[in-house]
């Protein structure tokens, strides 16, 4: 590769900043220009993680990490081996940002403020010589011979550069990616990922705020099954188990127009036999107690009462009066409870786009376009997205860093 003289990075988000910094550091003689269409940079970083920025996940095993990416998955191995969680962690620490890990593995700046991440990215880019241009909306990329690109802006202004890295983020509408499709890149139609489930016809919404800590959620008609805490909300269900299911099923659920059924195992730590033993033991040992007063399920009391009532069992009935048939019915509702989902709701304004520039058009060792030399991609503009927990930023840092090398 001849030495790059002018490198344009389009989109000043997480991936764009990392790509620009990496490009400036790997190619110190090049001029790196970072273009942002709005008057704000790193907008999503600033609002991410409820203003704290869940910058990465405490998952340093690459094979385990890959399972967090329903779109991308094993194909991301190459970039994570070049610049993975360890390098990301070290990068932030070496640049003066201490990170802390929460119980569930999410990592945040120890300041608990996303501004810390915004500041370190902006300062590092500036120190590396990256030139930022705000309010510079790129509308077209035109190959200029074999050795250059002409960038066209919404103002009709143009600029010629010899390398381009596209980091424009997810586009909720396919139309937003037309300018990249014009470059003969295949676009996987975008659909949302990471959302909660609406259940307007289900009475369980009366239990809003109740959490089943070890639930399993299965999307009926698919192989998708997730585990984790399930939160009942006033509109339906949320929590890690639901968000993960929405991510794994993003495309299928869009095809169903968000009308589908889920099956819930309320406490995944017990299988059928374990429940049978537990309930039979309760019937013996607590024979005189009322069903509502003795809750062996390890589920919140309100949920236990709800499940009894859902089966038409009086909470005043004694355990001795339950009988084998009802024990089996109870096991059925504990392990095989179904709910009708009608629609979705965005999770705390956090969403990612499933879809984007197709990965088979990209060399995933370098992030270079297989169609055009001198064109690279990084971040959510690609058909890469993850479950919640810091993995989406991880993909942005890793792909941005690798793209900036211009390999």
Ligand X SMILES: Cc1cc2nc3c(=O)[nH]c(=O)nc-3n(C[C@H](O)[C@H](O)[C@H](O)COP(=O)(O)OP(=O)(O)OC[C@H]3O[C@@H](n4cnc5c(N)ncnc54)[C@H](O)[C@@H]3O)c2cc1C
Q: What phi and psi values does residue 349 have, to the nearest 5 degrees?
A: 65, 0
Task: Closer to ligand X by CB, 17 or 339: give it.
Answer: 17
Q: Which stretch binds ligand X (CB under 6 A): 60-68, 94-102, 163-171, 287-295?
A: 163-171
CB of 9 or CB of 215, closer to ligand X: 9
In the complex, what is the shortest distance from the CB of residue 63 to ligand X, in angstroms, rounded to a whole number?
19
Q: Which is nearer to ligand X, 154 or 206 (CB)?
A: 154
Q: How far is the CB of 30 from ligand X (least distance, A)?
A: 20
Q: What CA–CA distance (Å, rounded) separates 381 from 396? A: 10
Close Cβ partners of 214 (under 8 Å, ≥ 6 residues apart): 227, 228, 229, 267, 268, 269, 298
In angstroms, the CA 164 to CA 6 distance is 9
Task: Report H helices in 323-367.
Answer: 323-335
User: Min. distance of Cβ 392 from ligand X in angstroms?
Assistant: 3
Examine residue 21 and tell whether it contacts ligand X (CB under 6 A).
no
Give the residue, chosen from 4, 7, 9, 11, that forms a contact with ligand X under the rule CB under 6 A: 11
Of 250-258, 287-295, 343-351, 366-374, the window that binds ligand X (rule: CB under 6 A) is 343-351
Q: What are phi and psi of 33, to 5 degrees?
A: -110, 130
Q: Are 130 and 34 in contact (CB under 8 A)?
A: yes
- Select from 28, 38, 259, 301 the one that contacts ligand X (CB under 6 A): 38
How many Å is the maximal CA-CA distance in the chain?
87
Which position among 149, 392, 405, 406 is part of the footprint of ligand X (CB under 6 A)?
392
d(CA 388, CA 48): 11
Residues in contact with ligand X, counted by CB under 6 A, come to a total of 34
The smaller minimum CB distance to ligand X, of residues 13 and 300, is found at 13
Among the candidate windows 6-14, 82-90, 180-188, 203-211, which touches ligand X by CB under 6 A? 6-14
Give least dist CB 59 to ligand X, A. 12
Distance in Å from the first CA to the final CA of the chain: 8
Site for ligand X in 97-156 (CB under 6 A): 137-138
Residue range at the interface with ligand X (CB under 6 A); choices 29-37, 71-79, 89-97, 327-335: 29-37
Q: How far is the CB of 18 from ligand X (least distance, A)?
A: 8
User: Taking Cα atoms as reference points, which of 179, 194, 224, 222 lies closest to residue 356?
Assistant: 179
Interface residue with ligand X among 91, 376, 393, 397 (CB under 6 A) is 393
Torsion of CA 87, 92, 94, 96, to 10 degrees: -170
d(CA 242, CA 339): 13
113, 119, 351, 407: which one binds ligand X (CB under 6 A): 351
Provide the minimum distance between the beta carbon of 318 and ligand X in the complex, in angstroms, as a whole number.
49
Q: Containing H/E element for 212?
A: strand 211-219
Distance, in Å, from the CA atom of 363 to the CA atom of 405, rounded to the nearest integer, reads: 13
Which of 265, 405 has the CB closer to ligand X?
A: 405
> Does 268 participate in binding ligand X (rule CB under 6 A)?
no
Question: Which residues fall within 8 angstroms of residue 237, CB to CB, at 6 or more apart?
Answer: 196, 197, 199, 204, 217, 230, 231, 262, 339
Question: What are phi and psi for residue 132, nearest 5 degrees?
Answer: -95, 135
Q: Measure the CA–CA gap between 290 and 144, rounded to whole angstroms.
A: 80
Applying CB under 6 A, does 49 fall inside the site for ligand X? yes
- Measure the CA–CA gap between 17 and 8, rounded to whole angstroms: 12
Stretch that binds ligand X, among 123-131, 246-254, 255-263, 346-354 (CB under 6 A): 346-354
Pick from 350, 366, 372, 407 the residue near ligand X by CB under 6 A: 350
Task: Please tell me whether residue 4 binds ligand X under the rule CB under 6 A.
Answer: no
- CA 306 from chain centre, in angstroms, equals 32
By the rule CB under 6 A, 380 interacts with ligand X:
yes
Binding site for ligand X (CB under 6 A): 10-16, 35-38, 43-44, 47-49, 53-54, 137-138, 167-169, 349-352, 379-380, 390-393, 396
């Amino acid at each position: 590769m001849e030495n790059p003289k002018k490198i344009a990075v389009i989109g000043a988000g997480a991936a764009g900043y990392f790509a620009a910094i990496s490009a400036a550091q790997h190619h110190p003689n090049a001029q790196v220009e970072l273009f942002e269409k709005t008057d704000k940079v790193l907008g999503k970083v600033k609002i991410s993680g409820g203003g704290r920025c869940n910058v990465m996940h405490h998952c340093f095993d690459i094979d385990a990490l890959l399972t967090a990416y329903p779109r991308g998955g094993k194909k991301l191995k190459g970039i994570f081996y070049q610049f993975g969680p360890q390098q990301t962690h070290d990068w932030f620490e070496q640049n003066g940002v201490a990170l802390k890990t929460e119980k569930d593995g999410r990592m945040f700046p120890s300041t608990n403020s996303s501004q810390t991440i915004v500041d370190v990215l902006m300062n590092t880019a500036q120190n590396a010589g990256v030139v930022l241009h705000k309010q510079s909306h790129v509308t077209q990329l035109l190959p200029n011979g074999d050795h250059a690109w002409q960038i066209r802006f919404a103002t009709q202004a143009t600029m010629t550069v010899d390398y381009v890295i596209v980091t424009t983020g997810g586009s909720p509408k396919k139309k937003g990616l037309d300018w990249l499709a014009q470059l003969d890149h295949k676009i996987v139609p975008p659909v949302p990922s990471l959302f909660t489930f609406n259940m307007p016809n289900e009475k369980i919404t009366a239990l809003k705020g109740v959490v089943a800590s070890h639930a399993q959620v299965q999307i009926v008609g698919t192989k998708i099954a997730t585990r984790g805490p399930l939160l009942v909300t006033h509109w339906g269900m949320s929590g890690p188990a639901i968000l993960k299911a929405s991510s794994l099923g993003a495309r299928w659920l869009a095809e169903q127009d968000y009308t589908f059924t889920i099956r819930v195992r309320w406490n995944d730590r017990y299988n059928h036999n374990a429940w049978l033993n537990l309930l039979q033991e309760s019937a013996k040992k607590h024979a005189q107690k009322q069903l509502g007063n003795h809750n062996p399920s390890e589920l919140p009391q309100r949920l236990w009462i709800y499940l009894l009532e859902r089966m038409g069992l009086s909470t005043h009935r004694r355990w001795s009066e339950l009988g084998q048939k009802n024990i089996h019915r109870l096991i059925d509702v504990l392990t095989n409870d179904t709910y009708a989902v009608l629609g979705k709701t965005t999770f705390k304004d956090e969403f990612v786009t499933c879809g984007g520039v197709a990965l088979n058009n990209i060399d995933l060792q370098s992030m270079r376009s297989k169609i055009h030399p001198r064109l690279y991609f990084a971040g959510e503009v690609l058909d890469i997205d993850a479950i919640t927990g810091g993995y989406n930023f991880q993909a942005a840092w890793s792909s941005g860093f690798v793209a900036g090398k211009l390999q």
